[in-house]
Structure 1
Protein backbone atom coordinates (compact mmCIF):
# COMPACT_ATOMS: atom_id res chain seq x y z
CA UNK A 1 0.00 0.00 0.00
CA UNK A 2 1.34 3.43 -0.96
CA UNK A 3 1.79 6.01 1.85
CA UNK A 4 -0.94 8.29 0.47
CA UNK A 5 -3.43 5.38 0.40
CA UNK A 6 -2.51 4.36 3.94
CA UNK A 7 -2.84 7.95 5.19
CA UNK A 8 -6.22 8.29 3.51
CA UNK A 9 -7.41 5.17 5.33
CA UNK A 10 -6.10 6.50 8.64
CA UNK A 11 -7.99 9.75 8.08
CA UNK A 12 -11.18 7.86 7.23
CA UNK A 13 -10.91 5.88 10.48
CA UNK A 14 -10.45 9.13 12.40
CA UNK A 15 -13.50 10.57 10.68
CA UNK A 16 -15.58 7.63 11.86
CA UNK A 17 -14.41 7.55 15.47
CA UNK A 18 -12.86 10.94 16.21
CA UNK A 19 -9.77 9.28 17.69
CA UNK A 20 -7.68 6.16 17.14
CA UNK A 21 -4.75 4.36 18.75
CA UNK A 22 -1.46 3.40 17.12
CA UNK A 23 -1.83 -0.32 17.92
CA UNK A 24 -5.28 -0.32 16.28
CA UNK A 25 -3.80 1.13 13.08
CA UNK A 26 -0.94 -1.38 13.16
CA UNK A 27 -3.47 -4.22 13.27
CA UNK A 28 -5.73 -2.63 10.64
CA UNK A 29 -3.01 -1.76 8.11
CA UNK A 30 -0.50 -4.53 8.90
CA UNK A 31 2.53 -2.22 9.13
CA UNK A 32 4.97 -1.34 11.88
CA UNK A 33 4.40 1.18 14.69
CA UNK A 34 7.19 3.31 13.23
CA UNK A 35 5.39 3.50 9.88
CA UNK A 36 2.13 4.51 11.57
CA UNK A 37 3.89 7.20 13.62
CA UNK A 38 5.44 8.63 10.44
CA UNK A 39 2.01 8.69 8.79
CA UNK A 40 0.49 10.44 11.81
CA UNK A 41 3.32 12.99 11.78
CA UNK A 42 2.66 13.69 8.09
CA UNK A 43 -1.08 14.14 8.66
CA UNK A 44 -0.47 16.33 11.69
CA UNK A 45 1.85 18.54 9.61
CA UNK A 46 -1.02 18.98 7.16
CA UNK A 47 -3.30 20.09 10.00
CA UNK A 48 -5.60 17.07 9.72
CA UNK A 49 -5.11 15.63 13.20
CA UNK A 50 -3.43 16.07 16.56
CA UNK A 51 -1.15 13.34 17.85
CA UNK A 52 -1.79 12.16 21.40
CA UNK A 53 -0.03 9.70 23.67
CA UNK A 54 -0.44 6.38 21.86
CA UNK A 55 -2.64 7.67 19.05
CA UNK A 56 -4.33 10.66 17.44
CA UNK A 57 -7.53 12.70 17.38
CA UNK A 58 -9.05 14.49 14.41
CA UNK A 59 -9.04 18.28 14.31
CA UNK A 60 -12.49 19.76 14.69
CA UNK A 61 -12.34 21.71 11.41
CA UNK A 62 -11.70 18.50 9.44
CA UNK A 63 -14.53 16.39 10.80
CA UNK A 64 -16.65 15.16 7.91
CA UNK A 65 -14.05 16.15 5.28
CA UNK A 66 -12.36 13.80 2.85
CA UNK A 67 -8.59 13.57 2.74
CA UNK A 68 -8.75 13.20 -1.03
CA UNK A 69 -9.98 16.78 -1.25
CA UNK A 70 -7.31 18.14 1.06
CA UNK A 71 -4.06 16.24 0.66
CA UNK A 72 -4.01 14.51 -2.71
CA UNK A 73 -0.46 15.16 -3.95
CA UNK A 74 0.00 16.98 -7.23
CA UNK A 75 -3.78 17.31 -7.73
CA UNK A 76 -3.41 20.94 -8.80
CA UNK A 77 0.14 20.75 -10.15
CA UNK A 78 0.83 22.62 -13.35
CA UNK A 79 1.30 20.67 -16.56
CA UNK A 80 4.65 20.61 -18.37
CA UNK A 81 3.35 23.12 -20.94
CA UNK A 82 2.34 25.49 -18.17
CA UNK A 83 5.61 25.16 -16.28
CA UNK A 84 7.84 25.94 -19.25
CA UNK A 85 6.38 29.46 -19.20
CA UNK A 86 7.36 30.05 -15.57
CA UNK A 87 10.67 31.77 -14.68
CA UNK A 88 11.95 31.31 -18.21
CA UNK A 89 14.96 33.61 -17.93
CA UNK A 90 16.10 32.02 -14.68
CA UNK A 91 15.81 28.49 -16.07
CA UNK A 92 17.70 29.41 -19.23
CA UNK A 93 20.42 31.04 -17.15
CA UNK A 94 20.73 27.96 -14.93
CA UNK A 95 20.78 25.60 -17.91
CA UNK A 96 23.48 27.63 -19.64
CA UNK A 97 25.66 27.52 -16.50
CA UNK A 98 25.12 23.75 -16.22
CA UNK A 99 26.74 23.31 -19.64
CA UNK A 100 30.09 24.09 -18.00
CA UNK A 101 29.83 20.74 -16.21
CA UNK A 102 29.15 18.61 -19.29
CA UNK A 103 32.21 17.08 -20.97
CA UNK A 104 32.60 15.04 -24.20
CA UNK A 105 32.24 11.34 -23.49
CA UNK A 106 30.02 11.83 -20.44
CA UNK A 107 27.05 9.63 -19.68
CA UNK A 108 24.53 11.99 -18.14
CA UNK A 109 21.03 11.61 -16.74
CA UNK A 110 18.34 14.26 -17.13
CA UNK A 111 15.07 14.20 -15.22
CA UNK A 112 11.78 15.41 -16.70
CA UNK A 113 11.88 18.89 -15.17
CA UNK A 114 11.43 21.91 -17.40
CA UNK A 115 14.86 23.21 -16.34
CA UNK A 116 16.47 20.03 -17.66
CA UNK A 117 14.50 20.43 -20.85
CA UNK A 118 16.08 23.88 -21.23
CA UNK A 119 19.44 22.17 -20.67
CA UNK A 120 18.70 19.56 -23.36
CA UNK A 121 17.98 22.38 -25.82
CA UNK A 122 21.37 23.95 -25.15
CA UNK A 123 23.47 20.79 -25.18
CA UNK A 124 25.99 20.97 -28.02
CA UNK A 125 26.06 18.16 -30.58
CA UNK A 126 29.07 16.42 -29.04
CA UNK A 127 29.79 12.83 -28.08
CA UNK A 128 27.46 12.19 -25.15
CA UNK A 129 25.15 9.50 -23.84
CA UNK A 130 21.99 10.98 -22.37
CA UNK A 131 19.44 9.00 -20.39
CA UNK A 132 16.13 10.67 -19.63
CA UNK A 133 12.51 9.93 -18.72
CA UNK A 134 11.36 13.13 -20.46
CA UNK A 135 9.66 12.67 -23.83
CA UNK A 136 10.20 16.35 -24.58
CA UNK A 137 13.96 16.00 -23.96
CA UNK A 138 14.11 12.91 -26.20
CA UNK A 139 12.43 14.84 -29.02
CA UNK A 140 14.80 17.78 -28.52
CA UNK A 141 17.94 15.61 -28.58
CA UNK A 142 16.87 13.38 -31.50
CA UNK A 143 18.31 15.63 -34.27
CA UNK A 144 21.73 15.79 -32.55
CA UNK A 145 23.58 12.97 -34.30
CA UNK A 146 26.56 12.77 -31.92
CA UNK A 147 24.38 12.38 -28.83
CA UNK A 148 23.22 8.87 -28.03
CA UNK A 149 19.81 9.30 -26.42
CA UNK A 150 18.27 6.56 -24.28
CA UNK A 151 14.66 6.96 -23.22
CA UNK A 152 13.75 5.45 -19.86
CA UNK A 153 10.33 4.02 -20.61
CA UNK A 154 7.51 3.21 -18.23
CA UNK A 155 4.03 4.54 -17.59
CA UNK A 156 3.53 7.67 -19.68
CA UNK A 157 1.92 10.84 -18.35
CA UNK A 158 0.30 13.09 -20.94
CA UNK A 159 0.11 15.92 -18.42
CA UNK A 160 3.80 15.88 -17.52
CA UNK A 161 5.13 14.42 -20.81
CA UNK A 162 7.31 11.90 -18.99
CA UNK A 163 7.65 8.26 -17.99
CA UNK A 164 7.47 6.96 -14.44
CA UNK A 165 7.27 3.84 -12.34
CA UNK A 166 9.28 0.65 -11.75
CA UNK A 167 9.90 0.12 -15.47
CA UNK A 168 11.54 3.56 -15.61
CA UNK A 169 13.72 2.91 -12.56
CA UNK A 170 14.97 -0.60 -13.43
CA UNK A 171 17.46 0.28 -16.26
CA UNK A 172 19.26 2.82 -14.05
CA UNK A 173 21.14 0.00 -12.32
CA UNK A 174 22.62 -1.18 -15.63
CA UNK A 175 24.48 2.01 -16.59
CA UNK A 176 27.59 3.79 -15.35
CA UNK A 177 26.22 7.32 -15.10
CA UNK A 178 28.73 10.12 -14.54
CA UNK A 179 26.33 12.96 -13.72
CA UNK A 180 22.68 13.53 -12.99
CA UNK A 181 21.07 16.90 -13.60
CA UNK A 182 17.73 17.25 -11.88
CA UNK A 183 15.29 19.67 -10.33
CA UNK A 184 12.41 19.26 -7.89
CA UNK A 185 9.31 20.96 -6.54
CA UNK A 186 10.94 22.63 -3.54
CA UNK A 187 13.65 22.82 -0.93
CA UNK A 188 11.78 22.75 2.38
CA UNK A 189 12.92 24.60 5.48
CA UNK A 190 13.78 21.23 7.06
CA UNK A 191 16.62 20.84 4.56
CA UNK A 192 14.93 18.22 2.37
CA UNK A 193 14.35 18.35 -1.37
CA UNK A 194 10.75 17.46 -2.12
CA UNK A 195 8.39 16.53 -4.93
CA UNK A 196 4.64 16.81 -5.31
CA UNK A 197 4.12 13.05 -5.66
CA UNK A 198 5.81 10.08 -4.00
CA UNK A 199 6.36 8.30 -7.35
CA UNK A 200 8.37 11.23 -8.68
CA UNK A 201 10.32 11.46 -5.44
CA UNK A 202 11.18 7.76 -5.53
CA UNK A 203 12.35 7.91 -9.14
CA UNK A 204 14.65 10.82 -8.34
CA UNK A 205 16.04 8.93 -5.36
CA UNK A 206 16.99 6.11 -7.73
CA UNK A 207 18.49 8.58 -10.20
CA UNK A 208 20.70 10.02 -7.47
CA UNK A 209 21.81 6.56 -6.31
CA UNK A 210 22.77 5.60 -9.87
CA UNK A 211 24.93 8.69 -10.54
CA UNK A 212 28.45 9.57 -9.49
CA UNK A 213 27.81 13.33 -9.25
CA UNK A 214 24.59 15.13 -8.47
CA UNK A 215 23.70 18.54 -9.91
CA UNK A 216 20.57 20.23 -8.60
CA UNK A 217 19.16 22.86 -10.97
CA UNK A 218 16.80 25.05 -8.96
CA UNK A 219 15.54 28.58 -9.44
CA UNK A 220 15.13 30.80 -6.40
CA UNK A 221 11.31 30.60 -6.35
CA UNK A 222 11.57 27.04 -4.98
CA UNK A 223 13.58 27.75 -1.84
CA UNK A 224 12.10 27.21 1.63
CA UNK A 225 8.69 25.95 0.50
CA UNK A 226 6.93 22.76 1.67
CA UNK A 227 5.94 19.94 -0.66
CA UNK A 228 4.50 16.48 -0.24
CA UNK A 229 7.16 13.80 -0.82
CA UNK A 230 10.77 13.75 0.39
CA UNK A 231 13.61 13.02 -2.05
CA UNK A 232 16.79 13.55 -0.04
CA UNK A 233 18.59 16.05 2.15
CA UNK A 234 20.48 18.80 0.37
CA UNK A 235 23.74 17.44 1.82
CA UNK A 236 23.35 14.52 -0.63
CA UNK A 237 23.78 16.92 -3.56
CA UNK A 238 27.24 17.83 -4.90
CA UNK A 239 26.34 21.03 -6.78
CA UNK A 240 23.47 23.50 -6.61
CA UNK A 241 23.12 25.68 -9.70
CA UNK A 242 20.68 28.53 -9.11
CA UNK A 243 19.91 32.04 -10.30
CA UNK A 244 20.16 33.50 -6.80
CA UNK A 245 20.15 32.67 -3.08
CA UNK A 246 18.88 35.64 -1.11
CA UNK A 247 18.62 33.85 2.23
CA UNK A 248 22.07 34.19 3.81
CA UNK A 249 21.41 31.53 6.47
CA UNK A 250 20.40 28.98 3.84
CA UNK A 251 23.47 29.79 1.78
CA UNK A 252 25.72 29.29 4.80
CA UNK A 253 24.01 26.02 5.74
CA UNK A 254 24.46 24.68 2.21
CA UNK A 255 28.15 25.57 2.26
CA UNK A 256 28.65 24.00 5.70
CA UNK A 257 27.10 20.78 4.41
CA UNK A 258 29.50 20.54 1.49
CA UNK A 259 27.18 21.72 -1.29
CA UNK A 260 29.07 23.61 -4.01
CA UNK A 261 26.89 26.61 -4.84
CA UNK A 262 26.91 27.95 -8.39
CA UNK A 263 25.11 31.28 -8.13
CA UNK A 264 24.46 32.56 -11.65
CA UNK A 265 23.90 36.08 -10.33
CA UNK A 266 27.54 36.27 -9.26
CA UNK A 267 30.45 36.60 -11.61
CA UNK A 268 32.92 34.75 -9.43
CA UNK A 269 32.38 31.13 -8.47
CA UNK A 270 33.61 29.12 -5.47
CA UNK A 271 37.30 28.38 -5.74
CA UNK A 272 36.89 24.77 -4.52
CA UNK A 273 35.12 23.79 -7.72
CA UNK A 274 37.85 22.52 -10.02
CA UNK A 275 36.57 19.47 -11.87
CA UNK A 276 33.13 18.92 -13.31
Structure 2
Protein backbone atom coordinates (compact mmCIF):
# COMPACT_ATOMS: atom_id res chain seq x y z
CA UNK A 1 0.00 0.00 0.00
CA UNK A 2 1.27 3.46 -0.86
CA UNK A 3 2.32 5.54 2.13
CA UNK A 4 -0.07 8.41 1.34
CA UNK A 5 -3.02 6.02 1.08
CA UNK A 6 -2.06 4.28 4.33
CA UNK A 7 -1.80 7.58 6.19
CA UNK A 8 -5.25 8.61 4.91
CA UNK A 9 -6.71 5.28 6.06
CA UNK A 10 -5.01 5.62 9.46
CA UNK A 11 -6.63 9.04 9.88
CA UNK A 12 -10.05 7.64 8.95
CA UNK A 13 -9.59 4.68 11.31
CA UNK A 14 -8.67 6.97 14.21
CA UNK A 15 -11.63 9.25 13.40
CA UNK A 16 -13.99 6.27 13.43
CA UNK A 17 -12.68 4.77 16.69
CA UNK A 18 -11.74 8.05 18.41
CA UNK A 19 -8.81 6.55 20.40
CA UNK A 20 -6.59 3.70 19.17
CA UNK A 21 -3.35 2.15 20.36
CA UNK A 22 -0.18 1.80 18.28
CA UNK A 23 -0.42 -1.99 18.56
CA UNK A 24 -3.93 -1.87 17.14
CA UNK A 25 -2.72 0.16 14.17
CA UNK A 26 0.22 -2.21 13.60
CA UNK A 27 -2.19 -5.16 13.47
CA UNK A 28 -4.76 -3.34 11.35
CA UNK A 29 -2.34 -2.13 8.67
CA UNK A 30 0.16 -5.02 8.84
CA UNK A 31 3.26 -2.85 9.06
CA UNK A 32 6.01 -2.45 11.65
CA UNK A 33 5.62 -0.31 14.73
CA UNK A 34 8.39 2.00 13.45
CA UNK A 35 6.39 2.56 10.24
CA UNK A 36 3.24 3.34 12.24
CA UNK A 37 5.20 5.74 14.43
CA UNK A 38 6.46 7.63 11.37
CA UNK A 39 2.97 7.76 9.83
CA UNK A 40 1.49 8.95 13.11
CA UNK A 41 4.12 11.64 13.45
CA UNK A 42 3.16 13.07 10.05
CA UNK A 43 -0.49 13.26 11.15
CA UNK A 44 0.54 14.81 14.47
CA UNK A 45 2.72 17.38 12.69
CA UNK A 46 -0.22 18.29 10.42
CA UNK A 47 -2.40 18.84 13.49
CA UNK A 48 -5.00 16.23 12.51
CA UNK A 49 -4.42 13.82 15.39
CA UNK A 50 -2.77 14.01 18.78
CA UNK A 51 -0.86 11.60 20.96
CA UNK A 52 -2.61 10.43 24.11
CA UNK A 53 -1.61 7.97 26.81
CA UNK A 54 -1.36 4.56 25.19
CA UNK A 55 -2.14 5.67 21.65
CA UNK A 56 -3.52 8.45 19.46
CA UNK A 57 -6.80 10.36 19.08
CA UNK A 58 -8.39 12.94 16.80
CA UNK A 59 -7.17 16.46 17.52
CA UNK A 60 -10.50 18.14 16.71
CA UNK A 61 -14.12 17.22 17.18
CA UNK A 62 -15.67 16.62 13.75
CA UNK A 63 -19.01 18.08 12.79
CA UNK A 64 -21.78 15.82 14.16
CA UNK A 65 -24.39 14.11 12.02
CA UNK A 66 -27.54 16.18 12.49
CA UNK A 67 -30.86 14.30 12.05
CA UNK A 68 -32.24 14.40 8.50
CA UNK A 69 -35.43 16.25 9.48
CA UNK A 70 -33.41 19.02 11.12
CA UNK A 71 -31.02 19.35 8.18
CA UNK A 72 -33.90 19.49 5.71
CA UNK A 73 -35.10 22.85 7.02
CA UNK A 74 -31.65 24.31 7.66
CA UNK A 75 -30.48 26.78 4.97
CA UNK A 76 -33.46 25.71 2.85
CA UNK A 77 -33.26 28.54 0.32
CA UNK A 78 -29.55 28.02 -0.33
CA UNK A 79 -30.14 24.32 -0.92
CA UNK A 80 -32.95 25.03 -3.38
CA UNK A 81 -30.66 27.28 -5.42
CA UNK A 82 -27.87 24.72 -5.40
CA UNK A 83 -30.23 21.90 -6.39
CA UNK A 84 -31.58 23.95 -9.31
CA UNK A 85 -28.09 24.78 -10.53
CA UNK A 86 -26.95 21.17 -10.29
CA UNK A 87 -29.98 19.85 -12.19
CA UNK A 88 -29.04 22.02 -15.18
CA UNK A 89 -26.09 19.70 -15.82
CA UNK A 90 -28.37 16.66 -16.32
CA UNK A 91 -29.55 15.80 -19.83
CA UNK A 92 -31.82 13.09 -21.22
CA UNK A 93 -30.07 9.73 -21.43
CA UNK A 94 -27.73 10.39 -18.50
CA UNK A 95 -26.94 7.74 -15.91
CA UNK A 96 -26.48 9.67 -12.69
CA UNK A 97 -25.67 8.89 -9.09
CA UNK A 98 -27.57 10.94 -6.51
CA UNK A 99 -25.99 10.97 -3.08
CA UNK A 100 -27.84 10.99 0.23
CA UNK A 101 -28.52 14.39 1.71
CA UNK A 102 -30.99 17.23 1.83
CA UNK A 103 -29.21 19.34 -0.81
CA UNK A 104 -29.19 16.63 -3.50
CA UNK A 105 -32.89 16.08 -2.77
CA UNK A 106 -33.56 19.62 -4.01
CA UNK A 107 -32.59 18.50 -7.52
CA UNK A 108 -35.67 16.32 -7.88
CA UNK A 109 -38.29 18.85 -9.03
CA UNK A 110 -35.94 19.93 -11.82
CA UNK A 111 -35.30 16.33 -12.96
CA UNK A 112 -38.68 14.64 -12.70
CA UNK A 113 -39.56 15.06 -16.39
CA UNK A 114 -36.16 13.94 -17.70
CA UNK A 115 -35.54 10.58 -19.37
CA UNK A 116 -32.69 9.44 -17.15
CA UNK A 117 -31.41 6.55 -15.04
CA UNK A 118 -30.85 7.35 -11.37
CA UNK A 119 -28.63 5.25 -9.10
CA UNK A 120 -29.17 6.16 -5.48
CA UNK A 121 -29.61 5.08 -1.90
CA UNK A 122 -31.44 8.32 -1.06
CA UNK A 123 -34.76 7.05 0.31
CA UNK A 124 -36.65 10.32 -0.14
CA UNK A 125 -35.41 10.62 -3.72
CA UNK A 126 -36.53 7.05 -4.46
CA UNK A 127 -40.01 7.68 -3.07
CA UNK A 128 -40.43 10.87 -5.09
CA UNK A 129 -39.47 9.03 -8.29
CA UNK A 130 -42.32 6.51 -7.97
CA UNK A 131 -45.01 8.43 -9.98
CA UNK A 132 -42.63 9.08 -12.91
CA UNK A 133 -42.11 6.12 -15.29
CA UNK A 134 -39.59 8.18 -17.28
CA UNK A 135 -37.19 7.89 -14.34
CA UNK A 136 -35.40 4.54 -14.18
CA UNK A 137 -34.30 4.00 -10.60
CA UNK A 138 -31.55 1.64 -9.45
CA UNK A 139 -31.16 1.39 -5.69
CA UNK A 140 -27.93 0.46 -3.96
CA UNK A 141 -29.82 -1.64 -1.41
CA UNK A 142 -28.37 -2.62 1.94
CA UNK A 143 -29.05 -1.24 5.40
CA UNK A 144 -31.26 1.79 6.07
CA UNK A 145 -29.23 4.51 7.77
CA UNK A 146 -32.06 6.31 9.55
CA UNK A 147 -30.04 9.40 10.41
CA UNK A 148 -29.57 10.17 6.71
CA UNK A 149 -32.68 8.48 5.23
CA UNK A 150 -30.46 6.46 2.93
CA UNK A 151 -29.51 2.88 2.17
CA UNK A 152 -25.90 1.92 2.73
CA UNK A 153 -24.18 -1.27 1.63
CA UNK A 154 -22.09 -3.52 3.78
CA UNK A 155 -18.40 -2.62 3.68
CA UNK A 156 -16.35 -3.35 0.56
CA UNK A 157 -19.21 -4.82 -1.49
CA UNK A 158 -18.31 -2.93 -4.67
CA UNK A 159 -22.00 -2.31 -5.27
CA UNK A 160 -21.34 0.27 -8.01
CA UNK A 161 -18.50 -1.58 -9.74
CA UNK A 162 -20.61 -2.74 -12.73
CA UNK A 163 -22.28 0.61 -13.46
CA UNK A 164 -20.99 3.26 -15.84
CA UNK A 165 -22.02 6.53 -14.25
CA UNK A 166 -21.99 9.74 -16.31
CA UNK A 167 -22.35 12.15 -13.43
CA UNK A 168 -22.29 11.82 -9.65
CA UNK A 169 -24.01 14.48 -7.55
CA UNK A 170 -22.44 14.36 -4.11
CA UNK A 171 -23.19 15.86 -0.72
CA UNK A 172 -20.87 16.55 2.21
CA UNK A 173 -20.94 17.37 5.91
CA UNK A 174 -18.04 19.74 5.38
CA UNK A 175 -15.14 20.50 3.08
CA UNK A 176 -11.72 22.04 3.56
CA UNK A 177 -8.46 22.35 1.68
CA UNK A 178 -6.78 20.15 4.31
CA UNK A 179 -9.28 17.36 4.98
CA UNK A 180 -10.98 17.27 1.58
CA UNK A 181 -14.60 16.18 1.18
CA UNK A 182 -15.99 14.61 4.35
CA UNK A 183 -19.12 13.01 5.75
CA UNK A 184 -20.37 12.27 9.25
CA UNK A 185 -21.67 8.73 8.72
CA UNK A 186 -19.04 5.99 8.65
CA UNK A 187 -21.58 3.68 7.02
CA UNK A 188 -21.80 5.87 3.92
CA UNK A 189 -18.11 6.42 3.25
CA UNK A 190 -17.52 3.43 0.97
CA UNK A 191 -20.51 4.04 -1.30
CA UNK A 192 -19.60 7.74 -1.62
CA UNK A 193 -15.99 6.94 -2.44
CA UNK A 194 -17.00 4.37 -5.02
CA UNK A 195 -19.46 6.75 -6.68
CA UNK A 196 -16.70 9.33 -7.17
CA UNK A 197 -14.33 6.71 -8.56
CA UNK A 198 -16.90 5.26 -10.99
CA UNK A 199 -18.27 8.54 -12.34
CA UNK A 200 -16.98 10.38 -15.40
CA UNK A 201 -17.79 13.74 -13.76
CA UNK A 202 -18.31 14.52 -10.10
CA UNK A 203 -20.43 17.43 -8.86
CA UNK A 204 -20.21 18.47 -5.21
CA UNK A 205 -23.24 20.30 -3.79
CA UNK A 206 -22.44 22.29 -0.63
CA UNK A 207 -23.71 25.56 0.79
CA UNK A 208 -21.33 28.20 2.09
CA UNK A 209 -21.82 27.10 5.72
CA UNK A 210 -19.95 23.83 5.02
CA UNK A 211 -16.68 25.42 3.92
CA UNK A 212 -13.76 24.98 6.33
CA UNK A 213 -15.70 22.30 8.23
CA UNK A 214 -15.09 18.58 8.37
CA UNK A 215 -16.99 15.43 9.29
CA UNK A 216 -15.95 12.09 10.69
CA UNK A 217 -14.40 10.63 7.53
CA UNK A 218 -12.93 11.85 4.25
CA UNK A 219 -14.38 10.10 1.20
CA UNK A 220 -12.41 11.92 -1.52
CA UNK A 221 -9.93 14.70 -2.08
CA UNK A 222 -11.25 18.08 -3.10
CA UNK A 223 -9.17 17.73 -6.28
CA UNK A 224 -11.30 14.68 -7.24
CA UNK A 225 -14.24 17.05 -7.82
CA UNK A 226 -14.96 18.41 -11.30
CA UNK A 227 -17.70 20.91 -10.37
CA UNK A 228 -18.22 22.60 -7.00
CA UNK A 229 -21.77 23.93 -6.82
CA UNK A 230 -22.54 26.32 -3.97
CA UNK A 231 -24.69 29.33 -3.12
CA UNK A 232 -22.08 32.10 -3.12
CA UNK A 233 -18.52 32.75 -4.24
CA UNK A 234 -15.97 31.01 -1.98
CA UNK A 235 -12.96 32.81 -0.56
CA UNK A 236 -9.73 33.39 -2.46
CA UNK A 237 -8.09 30.24 -1.11
CA UNK A 238 -10.75 28.00 -2.64
CA UNK A 239 -10.77 29.97 -5.89
CA UNK A 240 -7.02 29.52 -6.21
CA UNK A 241 -7.23 25.81 -5.38
CA UNK A 242 -10.00 25.33 -7.93
CA UNK A 243 -7.98 27.07 -10.62
CA UNK A 244 -4.91 24.95 -9.87
CA UNK A 245 -6.89 21.69 -9.96
CA UNK A 246 -9.23 22.53 -12.85
CA UNK A 247 -12.39 22.57 -10.72
CA UNK A 248 -15.28 24.67 -12.01
CA UNK A 249 -17.04 26.59 -9.24
CA UNK A 250 -20.73 27.22 -9.94
CA UNK A 251 -22.84 29.64 -7.89
CA UNK A 252 -25.93 31.79 -8.64
CA UNK A 253 -25.52 35.29 -9.96
CA UNK A 254 -26.46 38.09 -7.52
CA UNK A 255 -29.51 38.87 -9.69
CA UNK A 256 -30.76 35.28 -9.53
CA UNK A 257 -30.22 35.07 -5.78
CA UNK A 258 -32.01 38.37 -5.17
CA UNK A 259 -34.97 37.95 -7.52
CA UNK A 260 -35.94 34.39 -6.70
The answer, yes or no, to whether TM exceeds 0.5 is: yes
3-state SS of paired residue (1:116): helix
When the two chains are superposed, the root-mean-square deviation of aligned CA atoms in Å is: 3.3
Distance 1:115 1:36, change over 3 A: farther
* Larger-gyration structure (1/2): 1
Range moving further from structure 2, 32-41 or 151-160: 32-41
Pairing 1:150-165 to 2, within 5 Å after superposition: 150-165=138-153
1:241 aligns with 2:229: yes
Range moving further from structure 2, 193-202 or 247-256: 193-202
- In the alignment, the residues of structure 2 paired with residue 39 and residue 228 of structure 1 have an alpha-carbon distance, to the nearest angstrom, of 18
2:4 equivalent in structure 1: none
Distance 1:154 1:72, change over 3 A: farther
Pairing 1:187-202 to 2, within 5 Å after superposition: 187-190=175-178, 192-202=180-190
TM-score (norm 1): 0.75
1:126 equivalent in structure 2: 114
- In the alignment, the residues of structure 2 paired with residue 229 and residue 95 of structure 1 have an alpha-carbon distance, to the nearest angstrom, of 24
The structure 2 residue matched to 1:141, chosen from 105, 119, 129, is 129
The structure 1 residue matched to 2:243, chosen from 238, 255, 265, is 255
- In the alignment, the residues of structure 2 paired with residue 36 and residue 267 of structure 1 have an alpha-carbon distance, to the nearest angstrom, of 54
- Kept in 1: contact 2:175–2:211 (CA 8 A): yes
Give the Å deviation of 1:95.
0.7
TM-score (norm 2): 0.79
3-state SS of paired residue (2:114): coil
1:213 equivalent in structure 2: 201
- In the alignment, the residues of structure 2 paired with residue 167 and residue 25 of structure 1 have an alpha-carbon distance, to the nearest angstrom, of 20
- In the alignment, the residues of structure 1 paired with residue 235 and residue 72 of structure 2 have an alpha-carbon distance, to the nearest angstrom, of 25
Paired residues in the alignment total 242
Give the Å deviation of 1:239.
0.8
